[in-house]
Amino acid sequence: MTEITKTLCPYCGVGCGLEVSPPAQPGKATHRDSQGNPVWRVRGDKSHPSSQGMVCVKGATIAESLDKNRLQYPMVRESLDREFRRVSWEEAFDLITKRIQTVRFTQGPEAICMYGSGQFQTEDYYIAQKLLKGCLGSNNFDANSRLCMSSAVAGYIQSFGADGPPCCYEDLELTDCAFLIGTNTAECHPIVFNRLEKYHKRNRKVKMIVVDPRRTPTAEAADLHLAIRPGTDIDLLNGIAHLLMRWGHIDAGFIDECTSNFSAYAEVIRHYSPEVVAHQCGISIEDLETAARYWGESQRVLSLWSMGVNQSSEGTAKVRTIINLHLMTGQIGKPGAGPFSLTGQPNAMGGREAGGLAHLLPGYRLVKNPQHRAEVEDVWGLKRGQISPTPGMTAWDMIVGLENGSVGLLWIAATNPAVSMPDLKRTKAALMRSPFTIYQDAYYPTETAAYAHVLLPAAQWSEKTGVMTNSERTVTLCPAFRRPPGEAKPDWEIFAEVGRRLGFVGEFAFANSAEVYAEFVKLTRDRPCDMTGLSHEQLQINGPTQWPHPEAGTREESSTSPQPLASSPSGKRLYTDLRFHTPDGRARFGAYHSRGLAEPPDPNYPFVLTTGRLYGHWHTQTRTGRIEKTRQMHPEPFIEIHPRDAAVLGISDNQFVEVRSRRSKAKFPAKITKAIAPGTVFVPMHWGALWADNAEANALTHPESCPDSLQPELKACAVQLVPA
């Protein structure tokens, strides 16, 4: 009998269901990769509600990455200029716990930091929070979601009173107008885009607007592409609002009954006339009016966004300005409508639920809220006051903390900051100064391993059982179906063992990840992300389930649109039912003027560099760079330059160009294309030092961050181009 495991793709936040079966099956030839090695068979799971059997090239080839370049044994070295030597887990745990105790009692718990990942399963996230924020009393847990989704988190909290996207994928096929801003969905969230594009093609009246300085494959499919200047998103959004107001396309009843702060917003958008906005954004008044007309004439508008909005020094303001448009037009709380952030990592949503950012606690709670801290302390069995009221260090704060000596121990897990952080020269110099870095990962080598004193081998997806939540709040159990290589262990087991050795034996007395999950869901009771009706066993029996899913709930009750933040249980639009998680139950308008880029172009650095991802690669190529098919799709980095700029600079196709920013420089072959707007250049972010010489996009970027979300502006910096 063929043994099939139903699981979830571990790459992106779309969260496609997969069916995996062993390489060798009776009556079938052994399944092999392009080099002839036996590999597990992977196909889309038709029963998964989010993806309905679809997968992109990354999901389809994931099995080819499972055995390549795996870190199998703990290793240590006394200093970064020495070689690693293999040690036992016993020796590694002993070293780590002694070091934690030393730092704890000499510098204090706030000198201990962990930088985790949206690749974690929820159980990994949860145990890390309990160890750091609960037992050790340090809120210095941040994840690579800080670089990815934290502006969406802050925007939802400020506008709705709670995090959590109020939409789901069904809305893609119920909308009249899809408004995509700062998202190359076709390449970065391909299966979401497949669903939308098929629906769009079938329904000619449905409009698709794409806002992006590049003519991406996503923009190619749009009815209207607005190639705005980088940093003018708020101008555009306020300009659309200005026209909707002028034309009377607002929902006064909804504004009156369900929102607050509209007058401050109305005062701001008054200044964004079409003439001003078209000039600022570099688009025509006609295109601006078309966008506003599509919004105003549609019964159901769905906004989608991702890093182009979030990775900005005004990311939270951008998110709230998108939400404003929905509040102003009543485009929320009904099928096919709402503001929908697309999550980057496969379990960034689970991380948010488990409190996996420096200002969060499990169950969508905030570190700063005394009642929230007390509720968590009660479940964790801690004395009152054990959890610090001060939000911890964010990802970039940890780099600064290494520079100024306030970080005594840095534990990095399942992420590769030596490629993905901004201002890499500064990042790497800070990592070199770290007194003690533990690097826990499934793969070796990676760029970040070069900065570690201790390497811990982590079991990854396929080798541990846990839960992940995708962008539409669907929770999927991902069972282990193979043994970890060598001595690799699940992340949560490593954290729990360290906790026990530090003396917290009862706090980490879990026999398996199902017990961890059972404790975690207790902390979601009566919270917006209530999952008290879920367990590993129930997810195994019932399959993927969308939250909220309280204990007495049923799958049917919890999976319909509209969604929890604007709860209308019957699915009908009832203003009196639309209560948000703010103290007065009203959604709050945010009134923001555009501030533009933190580092705008100037005569010395006249181009705006924007960065992004490509269809076949995932982040820093730890997996996709080792899979022949995806590697061949994008074998090398490049820089996109508009023909007009290339002509002025005398740059020809494929000629190397040195790109200089105020921080560093890098070199790329030129790809001359009208897909990029004049004055802007594009470089993919996937190449670190292991994969190409001097071709790191983030060598150029800067760490200036949104003041609310503290998410760095990875999407734009000023550069000069010099033909090499």
Q: Which residues bind ligand SF4 (CB under 6 A)?
A: 9, 11-12, 14-16, 55-56, 58-59, 190-191
Q: Letter for the amino acid at 323?
A: I
Structure tokens belonging to residue 87: 């040690």
Structure tokens belonging to residue 208: 């698709």
End-to-end Cα separation, the chain, in angstroms: 60
Q: Where are the alpha helices (DSSP H) in 31-87?
A: 57-61
Nearer to ligand SF4, 190 or 688 (CB): 190
Instruction: Determine how β-strand 141-143 pairs with β-strand 112-116.
Output: parallel
CA separation for the pair 704, 712 (Å, rounded): 5
Nearer to ligand SF4, 16 or 348 (CB): 16
Nearer to ligand SF4, 47 or 652 (CB): 47
Please state, as a whole number, how many other Cβ atoms lie within 10 Å of the Cβ of residue 486: 13
Give the nearest distance from C-beta 679 to ligand SF4 in angstroms.
32
Closest-CA residue to 234 (of 223, 246, 242): 242
Give the nearest distance from C-beta 579 to ligand SF4 in angstroms.
33
Give the nearest distance from C-beta 45 to ligand SF4 in angstroms.
11
CA separation for the pair 567, 692 (Å, rounded): 50
Give the nearest distance from C-beta 55 to ligand SF4 in angstroms.
4
Give the nearest distance from C-beta 709 to ligand SF4 in angstroms.
23
Nearer to ligand SF4, 150 or 471 (CB): 471
Give the nearest distance from C-beta 225 to ligand SF4 in angstroms.
22
Q: Letter for the amino acid at 220?
A: E
Residues in the chain: 724
> What would you measure as the largest C-alpha separation in the chain, in angstroms?
71
Give the nearest distance from C-beta 617 to ligand SF4 in angstroms.
10
- SS3 track for 393-453: CCHHHHHHHHHHCCCCEEEEECCCHHHHCCCHHHHHHHHHCCCCEEEEECECCCCHHHHCC
- Say if CB 203 and CB 68 are below 8 A apart: no
Nearer to ligand SF4, 53 or 435 (CB): 53
Nearer to ligand SF4, 39 or 666 (CB): 39
Structure tokens belonging to residue 277: 């906005």
User: Dihedrals φ, ψ of 48, to 5°?
Assistant: -75, 125
Q: Which helix (H) or strand (E) segment is 290 a member of?
A: helix 285-297
Please state, as a whole number, how many other Cβ atoms lie within 10 Å of the Cβ of residue 602: 9
Nearer to ligand SF4, 165 or 355 (CB): 165
Nearer to ligand SF4, 52 or 388 (CB): 52
- 333-344 per-residue burial string, b: 16 or more CB within 10 A, e: under 16: bbbbbbbbbbbb
Nearer to ligand SF4, 189 or 549 (CB): 189
Nearer to ligand SF4, 14 or 219 (CB): 14
Q: Nearest residue by C-beta to ligand SF4?
A: 59
Question: Cα–Cα distances in Å, from 417 out to 145, 340, 425, 522?
Answer: 12, 27, 12, 33
CA separation for the pair 73, 88 (Å, rounded): 8
Closest-CA residue to 124 (of 464, 454, 448, 430): 464
Give the nearest distance from C-beta 12 to ligand SF4 in angstroms.
3
Give the nearest distance from C-beta 59 to ligand SF4 in angstroms.
3
Nearer to ligand SF4, 14 or 222 (CB): 14
Give the nearest distance from C-beta 539 to ligand SF4 in angstroms.
18
SS3 131: helix
Closest-CA residue to 84 (of 96, 75, 73): 75
Give the nearest distance from C-beta 49 to ligand SF4 in angstroms.
13
Give the nearest distance from C-beta 686 to ligand SF4 in angstroms.
14
Give the nearest distance from C-beta 543 to ligand SF4 in angstroms.
17
Please say whether the dihedral angle defined by the alpha carbons of residues 151, 155, 156 and 158, taken in this order, is positive or negative.
positive
Task: Give the single-character DSSP code of 277.
Answer: H
Q: Which residue has the tokens 């610090």?
A: 388
- Say if CB 241 and CB 324 are below 8 A apart: yes
- Say if CB 514 and CB 537 are below 8 A apart: yes
